[in-house]
Amino acid sequence: MNASLQTDSASMHRYVQQLQLRNPHTAKTYRRILNGFLGFVAGHAEPLSVRVIQNWLHDRMTVCPLPVVEHDARLVDRFLDWMALTGAIQNNPLAELRRQSIHPTTAAIVRALLSPDYDSALEALRPPPRFASFLGTAMRDYIVLMRSVGRRYSTEEAGLLRFDRFLQSRPDLSGKPLSALVRAWTKADPTAEHAWRCNQIGRLLSRALRRTNPTIERIPFDSDLEKRARQLHRRPYIYSEEEVRLLLKTARGFPSPRSPLRPLTIFTMLALTYCAGLRLGEMIHLSLGDIHLSDGTIEIRDSKFFKSRRLPLSSSVMSALRCYLDARQQAGASSEPSSGLFWQQRTGGRYSYVSAGKLLRHVLRSAGLKPRPGRTGPRIHDLRHAFVVNRMLAWYREGINPQPLLPYLATYLGHKDINSTLVYLTITQELLQLAGERFRVFRVAVLGSPAGGAK
């Protein structure tokens, strides 16, 4: 294995070349780092292993700070992944550590390997087993039951799993009443949001346990706690029509020399998200066969609450879709109905939820609508809120009473009832003025009629 790393420097050059790095200085830096790593490995008699990589990391730490070492390790990690993929080496030791620890980041593995007790540090990266606490079996059985009656139960499972991990770290709580367990979990994080989540999971678990043991106390609903938590939630940002046009313009001009299709892809993503009020997951899971150009509709399959729906789109949105589909075909994308609508030129597959979200957030920042750092400012999901508000505004401007149309809007959005739709109905100043004007006209009409008692 070492021989291939020592002698096949041509592989390293091919790897850097296929990255298609735009800046020649970046390519030079990549070659310098990878050459240094290959030279270090060549000086060891033993095959490439975790120990060899660990020694290389310690050697780098003598001349570079930790952030630089982490950066170099990421480059080496990707290079070794490529070498394993091409068959030049049997496997990537860093990738094996990631799989064993179920930790996605190279930086965490690097910090563990550099620690004095690296075995314990690597072990600490391993998550605890699922539902292994003294209440874990009851939690798992209840999740199985809920899914057997048609519930997805993914959010509830994630909450129960967090509680289970807490209980695994606190075996001293075994045998305590459920209310005491929830109080102890609540104290682990002083925020109102965490306390509310604890109350939700505690209520859910009390219902689950009472199925087999009616003596289990019932955790009451804390409305004050919910109110405090909701007050801290980020309020939806309602994009104006000018801001939506700015977003679309920014998307069309997005710099992407290595993926010429990407700007049009982002533009089409934003157009569908806003004009059809789609969730990000719904948009990403669209396949080529879900687009019906003949009748101007798209098919949303197996969305939230196991619901599917067919949505009619405006002629302008369908025109944008046709333009994108033509460019997609010219770029060499698959024409199979099951292939992803939004196709990546570099990977040949569909965009993932994470990659699409990062890309769209980058466009938000490029348009100047979202601050550069942190989880602040407008979100992509806020386009769905803007869709609802701007639809209501359009109805009011056209003199249409929106009340009887709310069930249709709920169906279009994929909601179970209009109560879910009302969550998206953020009251803006313009909406309040138009609603007030409609009520004024209605009042005048009523009071001015004989039935209204006018004299």
Q: Which residues are catalytic?
A: 279, 304
C-alpha to C-alpha distance for 397 and 433, rounded to whole angstroms = 11
Of 5, 20, 26, nearest in space to 259 by CA: 20
**Residue 243 near residue 390 (C-beta atoms within 8 A):** no
3-state secondary structure the chain: CHHHHHHCHHHHHHHHHHCCCCCHHHHHHHHHHHHHHHHHHHCCCCCCCHHHHHHHHHHHHCCCCHHHHHHHHHHHHHHHHHHHHHCCCCCCHHHHHHHHHCCCCHHHHHHHHHCCCHHHHHHHCCCCCCCCCCCHHHHHHHHHHHHHCCCCCHHHHHHHHHHHHHHHHCHHHCCCCHHHHHHHHHHCCCCHHHHHHHHHHHHHHHHHHHCCCCCCCCCCCCHHHHHHHHHCCCCCCCCCHHHHHHHHHHHHCCCCCCCCCHHHHHHHHHHHHHHCCCCHHHHHCCEHHHEECCCCEEEECCCHHHCCEEEECCHHHHHHHHHHHHHHHHCCCCCCCCCECCECCCCCCECCHHHHHHHHHHHHHHCCCCCCCCCCCCCCCHHHHHHHHHHHHHHHHCCCCCHHHHHHHHHHHCCCCHHHHHHCCCCCHHHHHHHHHHHHHHHHHHHCCHHHCCC
